[in-house]
Amino acid sequence: MAKPFTNIARVDARAKVTGAPIYGADKLPQGTLHAAFVVSTIVKGRVARIDNSLATNLPGVRHILTHLDAADLKSAGFLLAGGYGCQNSFPFLTDRVAYRGQPVALLLADTLEQALHAASLVEVEYLEEAFSSSIRSEGVTTIAQVDSPLPQQLFRDTVAGDALPAFAAASVTVDATYYSPPQHQNPIELIGTVAVWEGDQLTLYEGTQNSSALKFGVAQMLGIEPDRITVISPQAGGGFGQKNSLQMQTGLVAWAARIAGVPVKMVVPRAQLFHSASFRPESYHRIRLGADAGGRLSGALYDADAQSSRHDLFPMDYTNAAARLYGIPNFRGHQRIVQTDTQTPGYMRAPFEHLSSFVVDTAVDEMAAKLGRDPVEFRLTHDTDIDPITKLPLTSRKLSDCLRRGAEIIGWSSRSREPGSMRGSNGELVGIGVGCGCYKAATAAAVAFLRLSADGRVTVSVGVHEMGQGIRTALANALADKFGIDPMLVEAVIGDTRGVPQHTTAGSWGTATAIPAAMEAADKLFAELGPRPLEELARRNLPHYDVMIERRAPGQPEQLAQALHAGRPAPFGPVYPEFVSYSYIAHFAEVHVEPTTRRIRVPRVVSVVDCGRVVSPRTAESQVRGGVVWGIGAALFEASEVDPRYGGFLNTDIAEYIIPVNADIGRTEVAFIDEPDPLLNPTGVKGLGEVVMTGVAAAVVNAIWHATGKRLRDLPVRMEHLL
């Protein structure tokens, strides 16, 4: 039985408390020009005329570039359709406008103010077309995913048994529909690029989760060899999925720098990012849940509609996670893409799983109540060791342990069952709710390079990006443990295309990919140098010793893994040839509802996680706390507002897009099962960064029901829904 990893401090903490220049936008080479976009004020149509006469002669303005200058630029394609970009609609390639806020001109000036001021004076005339802003707008195009050109192995309906007759024959049913608005990731670090050419060599500084996509994608856009491009992103100031592909400005900034002959810097203003970067799409969900005469869940029908753009089919994956939360023998999940006139949606933390766990676990909660069963006990009776869809064994599933432990910590036995039966000291209505979630344990192909130096330092390079989840610390901790050295002697070359191929860090596969790869490289070094490698190094009189390994996810076909070397995603799972793997979590939320105003507060959340082995306890705990806050934000605060008359999003800043602040967050308590997964990889690691958010919204909304007797199904839940 492996011993738990040591709880060490985050290795980059000191840099982060002293304002060290570790982010892309901290770069400003001598002579850099500042870039600003002009963005469209229409949703759909064409650019008819651009009049830059008021801007062009302003002091400091050096270049104004539009689609008329871009004949040599190419698209980098859509990440999910063989390309690299967040969408297959790159600015300036045509005169078409595909979404409100689409960049239509780029200005270069000596200072940022000059660029912004000049941009505001560029006048654009458009030919407007009618548009559809939301799923329920007129003029949308709806495509069932199972009938679409998307790869059916991944995106067809999720089916087990025969759900329709099972539901029809059920003794007790729940039939509920749910709504989730569009939402935006809003990391505090804005998306931005500094592009520096030296001869025909290009260096890009940008906070990203996918330095390979930037390298290969910009190469494709500019028509140059990828090995002329270096991307450097030692730290990203938060990603949450928004930075997991090539963004809209990167290639254009590089192109502008090539034209201008000097470095160019653009930090995209937050308001523009609401339109030019990805977001969580609007979605509607319906679940029909049936229980048999014995009170067992016998069938579930899960239907989801989610928004996409006109130019891409953004694939959905709600139903696979929905099917895996409990052992329901008959399941049918059906998903439809609804094309609207927006930029292409993308991945925002637990992109599907946050909602599928919300839908399933509020319906399960409702079913438990209908059956007169305790909510925790009801969930425990639907545990399973076998994947309900493929019937393969699960590598590990400790959700029942999570439920039992969480129930104990929150004091579930003191909870009185009837809604509205608990009161706080100020007369507030008190509710305690449980919500469970799961998230796929995927892993990606990886190359790992390891160097042991004679001075005892270890340098590792592997495809992963630090965005605050603590991967630098996990790598340092794992290798420090292996080599018996101080973690501060481990240097990681990550988020840097000068190292090994840099696979995108997303889908919670970062640690589960990078740590086993680093450890395999370390094992190889020990195999070659023996159990005392430093002594052997000295004996051989070598300054350093290098090893390199390449590994794939379990059972991953070689052909899929090779995508890694072309800067393309190469993840695999959660369905592997011989098993299926998920991470699990149970949250218990205490909610207070003020009796007159119906103001909702969440003073306490207890979360217990099964993510396999915990490599870095301190940073892992921080991830859970972050995920709980994200779940509360999604449940109670966050919505990107759309006015169908204007399209686009209205509340494009963090004053009006409501993100939880310090005062919104009560006590969060975290526990880990910390049992290594025995099958997925030698370290026993499953993913953590997104499972942490799944189940929180259900716990909060189930607690609100317990406090008030009202079942709420549209997010975000607001006071007025309880009046």
Query: In terms of CB distance, is 107 or 522 closer to other proteins?
Result: 107
Which strand (E) or helix (H) includes residue 49?
strand 45-51
Shortest approach of other proteins to residue 348 CB, angstroms? 12
* 1 lies in the site for other proteins, by CB under 8 A: no
Query: In terms of CB distance, is 7 or 53 closer to other proteins?
Result: 7
Question: What DSSP designation does 5 have?
Answer: P
Alpha helices in 467-587 (DSSP H): 471-483, 510-529, 533-539, 558-561
Interface residues for other proteins in 171-190 (CB under 8 A)? 185-190
Give the Cα separation of 621 and 19 in Å (integer). 24
Q: Under rule CB under 8 A, how many of the chain's residues touch other proteins? A: 60
* 426 lies in the site for other proteins, by CB under 8 A: no
429-440 vs 582-593, strand pairing mode: antiparallel
* 654 lies in the site for other proteins, by CB under 8 A: yes
CA-to-CA dists, residue 156 to 132, 152, 226, 419, angstroms: 26, 5, 34, 39
Selected binder of other proteins within 72, 113, 546, 641 (CB under 8 A)? 113
Give me the count of residues in the chain: 723
Interface pattern 479-518 for other proteins (x via CB under 8 A): ----------------------------------------
Shortest approach of other proteins to residue 267 CB, angstroms? 6
Query: In terms of CB distance, is 49 or 667 closer to other proteins?
Result: 667
Interface pattern 187-206 for other proteins (x via CB under 8 A): xxxx----------------
Give the Cα separation of 479 and 490 in Å (integer). 7
* 601 lies in the site for other proteins, by CB under 8 A: no
Selected binder of other proteins within 373, 625, 710, 721 (CB under 8 A)? 625
Helices (H) and strands (E) in the chain, counts: 18, 27
For residue 587, the cross-strand partners are 435, 607
Give the Cα separation of 609 and 83 in Å (integer). 35
Query: In terms of CB distance, is 50 or 190 closer to other proteins?
Result: 190
Give the Cα separation of 593 and 431 in Å (integer). 8
- Among 67-75, 304-312, 363-371, 661-669, the segment contacting other proteins (CB under 8 A): 661-669
* 650 lies in the site for other proteins, by CB under 8 A: no
- Among 80-88, 210-218, 578-586, 653-661, the segment contacting other proteins (CB under 8 A): 653-661
Interface residues for other proteins in 251-270 (CB under 8 A)? 267, 269-270
Specify the 3-state DSSP secondary structure of 507: coil
For residue 159, the cross-strand partners are 332
Give the Cα separation of 87 and 200 in Å (integer). 27
Shortest approach of other proteins to residue 506 CB, angstroms? 15
Selected binder of other proteins within 660, 676, 695, 716 (CB under 8 A)? 660
Task: Give me the sign of the Cα torsion angle 339, 345, 346, 349.
Answer: negative
Query: In terms of CB distance, is 71 or 663 closer to other proteins?
Result: 663
Shortest approach of other proteins to residue 631 CB, angstroms? 10
The amino acid at 184: H
Looking up tokens 């090994």, which residue turns up?
500
Give the Cα separation of 85 and 89 in Å (integer). 9
* 628 lies in the site for other proteins, by CB under 8 A: yes
Give the Cα separation of 643 and 628 in Å (integer). 30
Binding site for other proteins (CB under 8 A): 9-10, 12-23, 25-26, 28, 111-113, 185-190, 235-240, 267, 269-270, 467-470, 618-619, 621-623, 625-626, 628-630, 653-655, 659-663, 665, 667-668
